[in-house]
Every structure is written in C-alpha cells, then in structure tokens.
Amino acid sequence: MKCKIQIFLWAILTFPCTIITLDDHPLLLDCGANLESTDSSGRKWIPDSRFLTTNNHSLSSTAKSQDPSLPSTVPYMQSRIFKSQSTYTLPISPTSRHWLRLHFYPTSYAAALDPAAALFSVSAAGLTLLHNFSAAITAQALTQAYIIREYSLTTLNSPLLHLTFTPDPDHDRPNAFAFINGIEIIPIPEIFPPEYYSRAMQTMFRLNVGGRFIAADEDSGLTRTWHDDSPHIYGAGFGVTTRAGAGVAYPSRESRLAAPPDVYLTARSMGPNSTLNLNYNLTWILDVDANFSYLVRLHFCDFFFGKVNQMVFLIFINNQTVETDADVAAWAGGKGVPVYKDYEVRQNGHNQLWLALHPNVESKPQYYDSILNGIEVFKLNDTKGNLAGPNPIPSLKKDMSQDATATKFPSRSRKKSRLIVILASLLASVAVLVGLIAACFKQSSKGGAPWLPIYGGSSSSSQISSRLGEGLCRHFSIGEIRAATHGFSEACVVGVGGFGKVYRGCIDGNATEVAVKRANPSSQQGLHEFLNEIELLSKLRHRHLVSLIGACEENNEMVLVYDYMANGTLREHLYNINLNGNKGWSDHLSWKQRLGICIGAARGIHYLHTGAKHPIIHRDVKTTNILLDDKWVAKVSDFGLSKARHALDQAHVSTAVKGSFGYLDPEYYRRQQLTDKSDVYSFGVVLFEVLCARPAIDAGRPREQLCLADWAVASYRKGAMEEMIDPSIRGEINAECLKRYTETAVKCLSEDSIDRPSMGEVLRNLEHCLKLQSGGEEEEQHSVNDAAFADVLETQGR
Ligand SMILES: *[C@@H]1O[C@H](CO)[C@@H](O)[C@H](O)[C@H]1NC(C)=O
Ligand SMILES: *[C@@H]1O[C@H](CO)[C@@H](O)[C@H](O)[C@H]1NC(C)=O
Ligand SMILES: *[C@@H]1O[C@H](CO)[C@@H](O)[C@H](O)[C@H]1NC(C)=O
C-alpha cells in the first residue's frame, strides 16, 4: 500500500502538469447507443440514457447510411432524437472550465424523420449555445458530413451540468425535433486570463499556421484539433511556411498547455525578399458571427532570429492596429521560446474577421518580415448569456456538380482513409465506365442535344462571350470549326476526355494545325469546367502550358481551340499505346527525354503556382494531362478543374474533392483543404509513372501494388526500387541521378503536405538530375527561361 502511494507521488513529481492538473474524468456519451463502445482513436464512449433526467419523447435511432468521411462510426451512427424539451444532467469535475463538444451527423435515420425538420435550441449552464439550429443547413454550407461544436464553459459553481435540447417548431416545420449524436465533457485547466474567468466561449477557429492538421489525440489532455490555416489566407500573398527541427523551449509547465509543439514548430512568414514583403500584408480572413465579441489568441515562436529588433512587425485586426512593434524575440526572450498574445475584438455588423501582418519599417529592424504560428478565435457569450449565431447561408459559389469521385473527407484515421481511397477508386472507375456508356447512348439517341437546360442556352452563351471579350483569345465561327475538322469527322478524333472529344484540324487555310475540343452537351460538368478553362487559360501564357488559341459558341456547340500537340500525351509514350489501345509509337522515350519532359511539366506547374497574378492549383496533374509537341516540349493541359487560390479562399473551408484517383493527394482527401502541395503529390505519382512505366492505379495487381504511389514508396524504403524500373530504360540511368530522382519523388509523396517540397524545389532537383545524367556536360534546350525563374526560385526556399 505504502509503496503504491510512493509511486503515485513520484509520478506527480516527474510528469508534466498536463497529466495531473487535468482531472482525468472526461465523459463521452454515445447518444442513442445501448452499449459502451470505442471510437477509431481508442476513446471509450458510454450510452447516454442514464443521464437523461427529463425525457418525455426521446427515441434512439440508427443512421441509414454511413458517410465515408465520418472519422469513426462511434458516436455518429447512433442518435438520440427529442420531440419535446429534454435535459441531460451530467456530473462534472470540480475544475473551473470544461470543454463541451456536441457532435451532429445530419442524415436520414431509421426513425424516418425528415432531416430538414431538425430545428432546435441547446442550452447549458444558463447559456444559449444554439438557437433555431439546423445541422443539415450548417453541414451543407461547410460541405461537411458532420459537425462538431466546441464550447468552453465555466463550471466552478455546480457539480452538475444541465444540458437541454428544445425543438424550435416554426410555420414551415410544425413537427420540428432535436437530435444529438455525441456529447463530450472534458475538464480542462483554466487557459484564459482572469478577466475571462466568468465568460463562456465557443471555439470558432483553431489553426496551426503553416502546419498540418493536428488530431485531438495528438494534443495532450486538452484534446483540441488544430487545422491548416491555408484555406483562410487572403489573396496571393501566401508567404512561406517553415518547420523547425529543434524542440520547443516551453518556459513553464503551464505554457505547455497553450499549444502542442507541432503548432510552434511550424510557422508562416512573409518570405526572404524585403521588397516584396513591404508590398503586401500577410492576411487571414475568418468567417464569424456578427455582433459578438471574440477573443483572438495569436501564437508565436521564432526559431530563426532570436535577437531583439531583428524582426518587428505590425498586427492589424479588422483594419485596426493592435500591435505596432510585435517583436517575437523581445516577447519570448529567446529562440524557440513560445509566446501567445490575446486580443478582444468586437464584430459590429461584420461577419468576417481580418487579421493582417506587415513589417514595421519605422523601428528599422534588421529584416522586413513577420511570422505567425497559430491562431485561435473564441466567440464570447453576450450579456444575455447567448452564444448562438444564425445558420450559415449555403454558398452558391461552391461546386454545384458532384462527380462520382466527389466525397467529403475530413478524417482522422490515415490508414483507413487511404484504404477508402483505394476502394472508392475502384468504385469510381466502375462508375465512370457506366457513366461513359450511358453518355454514349444518350448522345447517339439525341443527336445534337441542346446545351445544358439547367443553365439555359442564352445565359451560358453570354458568359462565354463576355469572357472571350475580356480575354486574349480568338472567336471562331462554327463554320470555321466544321471546316477545320471536316464536320467533326470521326477520322479526326485524337482523344476523348470527360468533357467530350478532341479533334485534330487545320485553320487559316491549312496554315496552322490545331486541336479542337468539343464539349459533350450531355456532360453537366462541361459548362462549368469549360468556362473555367477559358477564364484561366486566356490569361496564362507559358512555354510549358498548352495555349488556347480561341473558342466558339454557336448553335449550342461549345468548342475550344488549342495549339496542336503532335506527339500526344506523355501517357501514350510511357505505355507505347495510343488512344485505341493499339501499339502506337514506334520508339520508347529515352531516360534523358523523360527527364526533359518532367522538367518541362514541373516548370509549367511551378509557373501556375507562383508566376501568375493569383496562384493557381491545377488539381488534375497526371500523365494524360502532360502533352508533347513536335519538338517533345512538355505542355501542361486541362485546366477544367483548376482553381485560382484566391477563389478558394472565399470558399471558407473546402471544396468538393476532385481529381483523378491514383494521383489524389491523401491529405486533400482527408481534410478537403486544397493547397499547391496537392499538385506536388500528383506530380510525385507522375515521376514514378515515368520511371516505372506503370499506371497510377492498376486494378489487376495484388493489393499492395494496386496503387503505384504506395508501392513505389514501399519499394524505395525496402531498397527494391530497381525492380520496378521500366526495363526499357533500366540500363540507361546514372546511379546518382536515379538516387536524386527517387528521393525527390518520394518526398513529393509525403503523407503530410508540409513535408513535401515546393514545385520550385522539385524543379531544381530534376534539373540537377539531368546534370548528373549528362555527366556534367552542358545541357541544351533546358536553359531557356531560366532567368525568368531564378527570381521566383529565390523567393521559394528558406
Ligand atoms: C495592410 O493592412 C493595413 C490595415 O488594414 C492597411 O492600412 C495597409 O494599407 C495594408 N498594407 C498593404 C500593403 O496592403
Ligand atoms: C447586428 O447588429 C446590427 C445593428 O444592431 C443589425 O442591424 C444587424 O442586423 C445585426 N446583424 C446580425 C447578423 O444579427
Ligand atoms: C456572459 O458574459 C457576461 C459578461 O459580458 C458575464 O457577466 C455573464 O456572467 C456571462 N453569462 C453567463 C450565463 O455565463
């Protein structure tokens, strides 16, 4: 007995305070469940029924379907449904603060109630947490399958917490009901300053700036989740992200509670170029509810400077200067020492919170730069004890079309999601096949089908006309297009894509060979992606991007005209197969040719990321979208899915996951947050495809070889890369070159986007590979344009 006590004391003395001050009695309720169960991260959830004290008309019900994005079946697949006001009475620990997390999965339940009729209020500890809340509308607006609401409640005065659910019937929904899937009550130490001891809060944002998603089980006992900040960055000024290798020097035990090391190790700063930094603000925009006050907590940790007045910057919140001389080194007192600052902001009438950083010139720091590691935003209860905001308005800007591959995916379990990716890819290829067959039938039966009735012919025409008017591209008549393609002759077809067929043709009296892309009128996605392609391509000009010559919209036809690429797609050459599945090209590509093509494609993508006015994410990098002209110059094509970065920022959290299976960034799939690193991932797959001449997904192979990315990385780790290499080039490759090339490709395929190189770094590595392969001899055509890139490359790394 005595011995036990001693061990316990020893444990108290040696373990950091996070373990002992967190009274370890979290309460996790799996609402509507009959038995205890464990979620995917090993946390135990218990049935809720014994805590229901007033329980007039409640029932438990099971969800009819399981959305693939649910991180775990527990607590989402079971729900508790209330048809009248009902209260849980929950025992709480004697600490001053608790997280209360509410989990909602708005879907159809076996109880056969209309999910849209779920409209309700939730109150606890004298506070209104939710009012007229529709989980379905909220989920739709956020493009998420489930919703987690996190509140921090002050709980010193009572050993019990009363949590009440009340249906809010209205004129349209007289039978409104309330529901809940999971409730978490987690005791936490007081992490807010004394003036907030009486305030309750709702967590609005918790962002790991410049870093990766951090799951609840990676954040000590506080079980917070931290998200990537990049979807919230405004405009093109993304700055640079950095990751320190060394440990974080927490100044005290309490300071460990502020944020886990991963938040402080990664940062976003403006970049090494002072002139550029003076021209922009590093800006985040966060959607909040109007007419509330917010506590904004900014986390800083500087691993690079460490001396006072080396980097001094201004901090603006909603256009007001909240800090004129932010000097992280002065605040923290050393390199790698974390520090955070709290600001209270009143959002009068505005529902966007702007945070901006800018170098302070007046204090004459050594560097004009600024840095941030983490952002937390908490909504504060108002004087009436209210925390509830209105339901969001689902945005019409979001992707309206949902293709077979579009699924929402913020998941916690990596292995699982990868598996689902593979399964989904199989399903998707089946779906695509079925879709293609259906489309063929539809087209042949309808003949010249009209343009997308949902949009209306006239509106689509005017959209195109206006874009043609403002862009640089040429307007063709349908007569010219018909003449160029011999009346869309089948003999002229050189390719088929999701949008329709591509024809080879000649314009201007046979002077110019062109590729004519004719939209398939039965493709609903067509219009959107067509407009997108015109919009982006008419503004972009680069040696390694296909050029759009012009477009035609007339007689319900929509046609894009490009430079003709005599050598087709990179894919055809890797497998030596042309469109019809026949052996098409006589010679295989040499290793040096392949390197040259990869370098060209990397330049094209790098230009998209950094060279255009607004950075553009391609979203569908693959070997069929890398085209080759008559001189074997690689050109990146197909911008139907591409997004300008600034357009994404406005989409709040995410966009529907799109892209091609086998090339799809697993992190994007999990978090639905698109970054330029998603293109880097896809390009990593391309690099292995080029080296091995094996497709990105090969359903005919055993499971561990199904997905080229997984197989290649596993082979690389086992040192068995050689066996995977395309036999027709195996003998040609210089060993040093191969090492550098595979290292680069493996880095591109890192699970976490933060570990992947930028496209600029990939490009430099590939150029180095070519030097190694050429044995130092000066290489020929590849030095074109380098001067233009040097500057961009400089600003990339630090
Ligand atoms: C940065 O933001 C502040 C506050 O909104 C504004 O006054 C200033 O003009 C901005 N600077 C730049 C370069 O955009
Ligand atoms: C915020 O308050 C203003 C002024 O009282 C009011 O006009 C506005 O409608 C309120 N906004 C919301 C979203 O409640
Ligand atoms: C909400 O905040 C106010 C301060 O504005 C505080 O006085 C009050 O006690 C809080 N209400 C509740 C119910 O916690």
Confidence of residue 3 (pLDDT cuts 50, 70, 90): very low
Question: In 3D, which of 634, 632, 611, 615 has the Cα closest to residue 624?
Answer: 634
Residue 115: is its pLDDT beyond 50? yes
pLDDT of residue 581: 45
Which residue has better confidence, 656 or 620?
620
Mean pLDDT of 103-118: 89
Q: Count CB neighbours of 221 within 10 A.
A: 18
Confidence of residue 438 (pLDDT cuts 50, 70, 90): very low
Confidence of residue 302 (pLDDT cuts 50, 70, 90): very high
pLDDT of residue 124: 95
CA–CA dist 57, 157 (Å, integer)? 30
> What residue's CA is closest to ligand 2, atom 6?
349
Please count the helices (runs of H) and the strands (runs of E) in the chain: 20, 36
Least confident piece of the model among 99-103, 404-408, 740-744: 404-408
Mean pLDDT of 623-637: 90
Q: With 0-12 CB in 10 A as exposed, 13-18 as middle and 19+ as buried, what is 39?
A: buried
Q: What percent of the chain clears pLDDT 90, i.e. is strictly above it? A: 42
Which active-site residues does the annotation give?
Answer: 620
pLDDT of residue 665: 85
pLDDT of residue 509: 78
Taking the CA of residue 279 as reference, the ligand 1 atom at the shortest distance is 13
Confidence of residue 586 (pLDDT cuts 50, 70, 90): low
**Ligand 2 — pocket residues by CB below 6 A?**
290-291, 349
Which residue has better confidence, 427 or 662?
662
pLDDT of residue 158: 80
Mean pLDDT of 123-139: 94
pLDDT of residue 455: 22
pLDDT of residue 2: 32
320: left (phi over 0), alpha (psi -120 to 50) or beta: beta
Residue 677 is inside which H or E element, if any? helix 676-692
Confidence of residue 655 (pLDDT cuts 50, 70, 90): very low
Provide the residue type at 409 as one letter.
F
- Does the beta carbon of 388 lie inside 6 Å of ligand 3? no
Distance 384 CA to ligand 2 centre (A): 16
Residue 481: is its pLDDT beyond 60? yes
- The whole-chain average pLDDT of the chain stands at 79
> Roughly what angle, to the nearest 10 degrees, separates helices 591-610 and 759-773?
160
- Residue 263 tokens read as 């938040």
Tens digits of residue pLDDT in 202-221: 999 999 999 988 988 888 77
Please choose from 164, 198, 378 the residue to mutate so as to test ligand 3's pocket, defined by most ligand atoms within 8 A of CB. 198
pLDDT of residue 434: 32
Residue 152: is its pLDDT beyond 70? yes
Confidence of residue 450 (pLDDT cuts 50, 70, 90): very low
Confidence of residue 273 (pLDDT cuts 50, 70, 90): confident
Distance 391 CA to ligand 2 centre (A): 14
Confidence of residue 782 (pLDDT cuts 50, 70, 90): very low
Residue 77: is its pLDDT beyond 50? yes
Residue 436: is its pLDDT beyond 70? no
pLDDT of residue 425: 36
Taking the CA of residue 154 as reference, the ligand 3 atom at the shortest distance is 14
CB 566 within 8 A of CB 585: no
Residue 471: is its pLDDT beyond 50? no
Distance 128 CA to ligand 3 centre (A): 11
Ligand closest to 97 (CA) is 3
Domains within the chain, CATH numbers bracketed: 6-15+201-380 (2.60.120.430), 27-188 (2.60.120), 421-564 (3.30.200.20), 573-798 (1.10.510.10)
